[in-house]
Chains A and B, each alone.
Chain A
Amino acid sequence: MDVGLLGQFVVNGMMLGMMYALVAVGFTLFFGVLDVIKFSHGDVLMVGTFAGFSTYLGMTAIGIDNAFIQLVGVLVIAVGSMAILGAIIARYLVLPLKSAPPLNTLLVTLMLGTVLREAIRLFYPDGSNPKHFPSLLPTESWSLGSFTLRADSVILLIGGLLVIIGVNVLINRTRLGLAIRAVAQDEETAKCMGINFKMIVLLTFALGSGVAAFAGVMNGLYYNEINFGMGLLLGVIGFSAAIVGGLGNIYGAILGGFLFAGLQTLGAVALPFASAYKDVFAFAVVIAIIAWRPTGLIAEKTSERV
């Protein structure tokens, strides 16, 4: 395989991995503060993308056609509205079930995912068909042999990276992050220290959902196509990535995301048998990794006292 082609696969894989990682970060944040899995995460991403898309349509309709302003508008509305939606979900669906079996939360949020998905399909104009998401980024491209690099891909990669770094800084360097980490460590102690537990949970869900909306818009800008079912698989993969990396750990989520993308790319291009088996391959490897490292690659800290 020539170098250009290899480079192309690497760039594609990184793009994919970045999106998985952004979704996985959300899972890991929610799990960190509340030990719950919010399975509607992928569908929140989808709703966020549609919110962004609607913003674009609205701005075009009122005559704003500067791509940069449009992009900012799309991002602000998508991220902002999903942050609110995430907090609402936490407030009315996740927190009330805190003392119920953890599987209940999983199921409730799964059902919420169905509600969101079906709602978009049924109530968004022509929602059951794919939509053309505009290219709001410069589309210049550089070619080198079989390697094509587009400006928008580079910007998206950098953007994704900045968001991940931003989340990381937020968690590790700010007062809010400190509070989130305190709640993640030990809810009771955090409460004793005067941290508003509920507020922190809501903020964390807002943060995670906002990141998901960003990933959704990124998805739309990259693939130029969005549809009501886009969140489902992305959610499952993001969840798997968070698990493989190790729940409750942002680096684990990133690692898991890129690993999964790598496996899929590898499965599609490098396997000796038909590429259709690539998902079989990726999931088999996931099972094997979990069998090998039962608490994820970057192990979750267990503080169980005996």
Chain B
Amino acid sequence: MKFLSKSAVSAIAFSMALTAGAHFADAKDKVKVAFIGPLTGGVSAVGVGGRNSAELAVQLRNADPNAKYEYELVAMDSECKPNVGVQVATKIAADRSIIGLVGHYCSAVAMGAVDIYHKFNLPMSVWGAVLPDVTYGNDYKEIHRVNGTMINQNDVAAKFMTEQGYKTWVIIHDTTDYGKGHDKYFSEYLTQNGGEILADFGVPADQQDFTAELTKAKQLNPDVIYFGGLTPLGVRIRAQMEKLGITAQFQGVSGIKSDSFIDGVGADLSEGVVSFLEGAPVDKLPGGQYFTEKYKAAGFAESEEAYGPFAFAAMNLILDGIEEVGPNRKKLTKYLGDIHGYESIVGEISFDDHGQNTVAAITKYVVQDGKWVVWEDSEYATGKRKLAGK
């Protein structure tokens, strides 16, 4: 970006020419990559976790003597607001020295920003936003997504829960794009699978008190309370269910699959809560263990949260691409377009013609003794423990 005058540039060029002789033989070219996520505000925990994970990918790559380039991460805060998102997206996209981007947890921000990436030919991969339209709502070849959409997640969730024998649901969702999207797709798949929705409550994402909704839910006596939203609200609803003596099964979405959900609710109340997350469980994959260890070793103050592994995988994908085709946006876009069967810490990645990762497997989780455990490995699957109402 040429912010400063042309003469300044030539002056710099001149001085660089003078010092060129001093270059070490093994000095690598610098390449910039970027990260965008919500680093302030209500969902900043996830954003900071994502940023740390992306940062980790860059650090590890820079520590690798075989890497061709030295990478620099430019991380930006979208505040989870579309207008700010468009601003930072423009800033990053317009900076030609940035080759690739790992961006967006908030779908509304991603929706506003994709046009800009297309306009500036900046290849990017979404690391957390789950709204299908981010990839399917356009034909931009620059846009990719390593995580699955809420469609896959709810498809699996609806099937799984009806298979467990549950019949009736009360849905509570927040009124953001995230919660409303989940509500829409889960309702759709649940009806297909024969489940019945007794009531559907939309609540603002900053609501504290759910006793009114839950009292009404209690009267309807559903088998399951489905919550479409993020950890903070999920914690409140689970805690308040207890207050009102609601014994129904609590079912969440990917947004609550975090350790902070269990910390917030406490081990007792979180026991038996189920949720669903795209991708294979991190610790099951060969690289996953490595990620978890390295993340701990890097000494980040904050946890990586549910989507950290995706940010790590997406960043690695982009770094691999740059290593392969060089620091060139168009070539990187093409490289990403051809990704098929790429091994990552969240499982195999294959992009379809919309840049959506198709093999984003959905993993079912249940809380057992204060930990998220893959359903198949849990004592619930073996029948040793039972979900609520079974």
Contact = CB atoms under 8 A, between A and B. Distances in A.
A68 interface: no
B48 interface: yes
A128 B48 contact: yes
Nearest to A114: B40
A233 to B, nearest CB: 5
The size bracket of the interface on A is 35 or more
A9 B260 CA distance: 30
A121 B38 CA distance: 13
A9 B212 CA distance: 6
B244 A148 contact: yes
Interface string B217-245: 01100000000000110011001101111
Contacts of A229: 42, 206, 232
Interface string B228-272: 000110011001101111000000000000101001111000000
A132 B213 contact: no
Contacts of B219: 5, 146
A225 B239 contact: yes
A268 interface: yes
B216 interface: yes
Contact of B215 (A5, A128, A131, A223): A5
A12 B201 contact: no
Nearest to B174: A276
B138 interface: no
A233 B206 CA distance: 7
A266 to B, nearest CB: 9
B212 A233 contact: no
Interface in B376-390: none
A126 B239 contact: no
B202 A8 contact: no
A130 B232 contact: yes
Interface string B177-212: 000000000000000000000001111101111011
Interface string A151-173: 00100000000000000000000
Contacts of A265: 212
B15 to A, nearest CB: 39
Contacts of B152: none
A224 B266 contact: yes
A197 interface: no
B357 interface: no
Contacts of B239: 223-225
B264 A223 contact: no
Contacts of A8: 215, 218, 244
B211 A225 contact: no
Given A129-B264, A132-B264, A276-B201, A219 B244 contact: no
Contacts of B245: 141, 143, 148
- Majority SS at the chain A contact face: helix
Contacts of B209: 12, 16, 223, 264
B235 A12 contact: no
A81 interface: no
Contacts of B244: 8, 148
Contacts of B265: 132, 224-225
A253 B239 CA distance: 28
Interface string A206-236: 0000000000000100111101011011100
Nearest to A266: B212
Contacts of B264: 129-132, 225, 227
A128 B204 CA distance: 19
A12 B217 CA distance: 14
A122 to B, nearest CB: 9
A278 B260 CA distance: 29
Given A16-B211, A146-B218, A148-B244, A129 B231 contact: yes
B215 A129 contact: no
B338 interface: no
A232 B258 CA distance: 24
Nearest to B41: A229
B231 A234 contact: no
A269 interface: yes
B135 interface: no
Contact of B212 (A118, A128, A225, A268): A268
Contacts of A148: 244-245
Contacts of A150: 243
A291 interface: no
Contact of B201 (A146, A153, A275): A275
Given A8-B215, A219-B208, A225-B236, A130 B302 contact: no
Contacts of B215: 5, 8-9, 12, 269
B90 interface: no
A234 B208 contact: yes
Nearest to A233: B206
B175 interface: yes
B235 A225 contact: yes
B303 interface: yes
Contacts of A227: 232, 264
- Of B42, B48, B211, the most chain A CB neighbours within 10 A belong to B211
A279 interface: yes
A229 B43 CA distance: 10
Interface of A: 5, 8-9, 12-13, 15-16, 118, 121, 126, 128-132, 141, 143, 146, 148, 150, 153, 219, 222-225, 227, 229-230, 232-234, 264-265, 268-269, 274-276, 278-279
22 contacts: A5-B219, A12-B209, A12-B215, A126-B260, A129-B45, A129-B231, A129-B232, A132-B264, A132-B265, A143-B245, A150-B243, A222-B243, A224-B265, A225-B239, A229-B42, A233-B208, A234-B208, A264-B209, A268-B213, A268-B216, A269-B215, A269-B216
Given A12-B212, A129-B258, A268-B216, 14 more contacts: A8-B215, A15-B211, A16-B211, A126-B302, A126-B303, A128-B45, A130-B231, A223-B208, A223-B209, A223-B240, A225-B265, A229-B232, A275-B213, A276-B202
Interface of B: 40, 42, 44-45, 48, 175, 200-204, 206-209, 211-213, 215-216, 218-219, 231-232, 235-236, 239-240, 242-245, 258, 260, 263-266, 302-303
The 9 closest A-B pairs by CB, nearest first: A276-B202, A129-B260, A268-B212, A12-B211, A130-B264, A128-B45, A148-B245, A224-B239, A132-B266
